Amino acid sequence: MSDVSSESPLAGRLKKIKPSPTLRITAEAARLKSEGVDIVSLAAGEPDFGVPEHVQEAAIASIRDGKSRYTPSAGIPELRKAIAQKLRTDNGLDYTPDEITVGCGAKNILFTLAQVLFDPKDEIVIPAPYWVTYPDQAFLNDARPLMIRTREADGFTVHPDVLRKAVGRKTKAIILNNPCNPTGAGYTREQLEQIAEIALECGAWIISDEIYEKIVYDDFEFVATASLSPQVKARTITVNGLSKSHAMTGWRMGYAAGPAEIIKAMTMVQSQNISNVTSTVQWASVAALTGDQSCLKEMVAAFQQRKDYVVQRLNGMEGIWCFEPKGAFYAFPRIAHYFAMVDADGNEYKDSTSLCEYLLKQALVSVIPGAAFGGDEYLRLSFATSMDQLKEGLDRIEQALSRLKPGPHYDNYQAHLEQKRF
C-alpha cells in the first residue's frame, strides 16, 4: 500500500506556479518598514495617490442607500453603461452592455477569460518581459505559455517576424500589454496593425491588457487594439480596470469588453465563482468613470516628472541603460553590467535576483528582479512613490553598485551574456 500521508493533497498544476513575486516582494518591504527598518520601497505596482474624493463619497452613499445586495454577475447595468460610454468616448469603440463584464480587478478578469478561452495544451503567446501573472494564469488553466522575446532596439515591442515564427495551429491567444508592465513599452497604431494582422491570419485571439492606458508620457498616443478595425475588434478582448487610473487597487474592479459569446461565458463562470464584484465598489466605479477626471491629470503629471528624473538618474549610472517608458510607472534598467561582480566580502552577483538581495541588504532598497518578468538582465523600479523617496532610493542604489568590483569570472560571464543578447 502506498503511504497516503506522504502524498501532497495539492493538484498537479500547482507545481508550475508560484506566488505573485511583485505582491510578495512588496509585502516583504512593507513588513520590514513596519518593523522600523529604513527601507525605500521601489517595488509597489500601485499608485501612491488617494482615491478621488467623489469616488469615496459615492461608495459611502451606496452603503447608506442600502445598495448592499447581490448584483448581476456581469455587474450593475449602470456600471456596464458607464464602461460602454468610456470605451466610446476614449477609444472610439462601440460595445453594448452585454459585451461587457465586470470582475474583481483586471487580474480576476484575465483569469476568468483564461477559464473560458483556454483548452489544455493551447499555446498562449506572451511577449517577454511580461507581467508576472500571465504565465501562471495560463498554467492554472492547463494551457501552455509561449514566451517570445522583445528587444531593447524595438522599444520592447513585439517584432512581427518574431511573432510570425512563434504562432501556429496551437496558438489560441496572444497577450498584449500596452503600455507594458514592466518595460514601459508602448505600441504605435502601425505596430498594433502588424501584430493584429498576424493574429487574424492564424486565428488567434488578442487579449489586450490596457490597464495602464491612462498613464502615458511625452508624446505617446495610446491606441486601443480593438479600435483598429471591425475585424480586429471581433478577435480582441479588451481588459482594463480602475486600479491604476483611479488609484483603486484595493477596491478590486476590472472589466472585459469583447464578443458577446465570450463575455456571456465569462459572466457564467463569474456566477459560479465570485457571484459579483462588491456592490459598493461597483457604485463607486460608476462615479469614477462618469465623474470629474482632473485627478487623473494631476497624477499623470506627477508620474511624468518622476519618470523623467528616474530615467535620467539611472542612465547616468555606470554601466546602466534604461529605456524611456512610454507608459505605466516603472523603470526597467539593464543592470547586467554588474553580473559577476563581487562585494567587499567576495560574494558574487550573477543574476537579477541576487543583485536585488544585495540592494535590499546593503542599500535597504526594495526592487523587483527582472527574472520575475522573464528578463533577468534587468531590474524593475516602481516610481509610484514620492520624489524624496525616489532620490534617496536612487542615491542608495548608485552607492551600493559603485562598491561592486569585477570578480574572477567577470570577463567570461559578460562575454557569455553578450552572446545570448537578442
- Does 296 bind ligand PMP (CB under 6 A)? Our answer is no
Q: Single out the residue of 39, 40, 41, 45 in contact with ligand GLU (rule: CB under 6 A).
A: 45
Joined together, the cell numbers standing for residue 10 give: 495539492
Q: Rounded to the nearest whole angstrom, what is the least distance from the CB of residue 335 to ligand PMP in the complex?
A: 21
- From 20-28, 69-77, 142-150, 302-310, give the range in contact with ligand GLU by CB under 6 A: 20-28
Distance, CA of 344 to CA of 118 (rounded, Å):
50
Distance, CA of 205 to CA of 142 (rounded, Å):
17
- From 17-25, 184-192, 194-202, 227-235, give the range in contact with ligand GLU by CB under 6 A: 17-25
- From 105-113, 140-148, 221-229, 348-356, give the range in contact with ligand PMP by CB under 6 A: 105-113
Residue nearer to ligand GLU on the CB measure, 137 or 279: 137
- Does 181 bind ligand GLU (CB under 6 A)? Our answer is yes
- Does 209 bind ligand PMP (CB under 6 A)? Our answer is yes
Q: Is 179 helix (H, G, I), strand (E, B) or coil?
A: coil
Task: Kindly identify the residues of this chain, within the stretch 126-165, that bind ligand GLU according to CB under 6 A.
Answer: 131-133
- Does 303 bind ligand PMP (CB under 6 A)? Our answer is no
- Does 17 bind ligand GLU (CB under 6 A)? Our answer is no
Q: Rounded to the nearest whole angstrom, what is the least distance from the CB of residue 417 to ligand GLU in the complex?
A: 25
| Partner whose binding site includes residue 332, from ligand PMP, ligand GLU, none (CB under 5 to 8 Å by kind) | none
Q: Is 33 helix (H, G, I), strand (E, B) or coil?
A: helix
CA distances from 224 to 41, 70, 188, 228, 315 (A): 32, 32, 10, 7, 31
| CA neighbor of 319 nearest in space, from 334, 308, 306 | 334
- From 104-112, 257-265, 270-278, 314-322, give the range in contact with ligand PMP by CB under 6 A: 104-112
Max distance between CA atoms of the chain, in angstroms, equals 69
Distance, CA of 136 to CA of 14 (rounded, Å):
9
- Does 106 bind ligand PMP (CB under 6 A)? Our answer is yes
| CA neighbor of 291 nearest in space, from 246, 328, 257, 253 | 246
How long, in residues, is the chain? 422
**Which secondary structure element, helix H or strand E, spans residue 254, and what is its range?**
strand 254-257
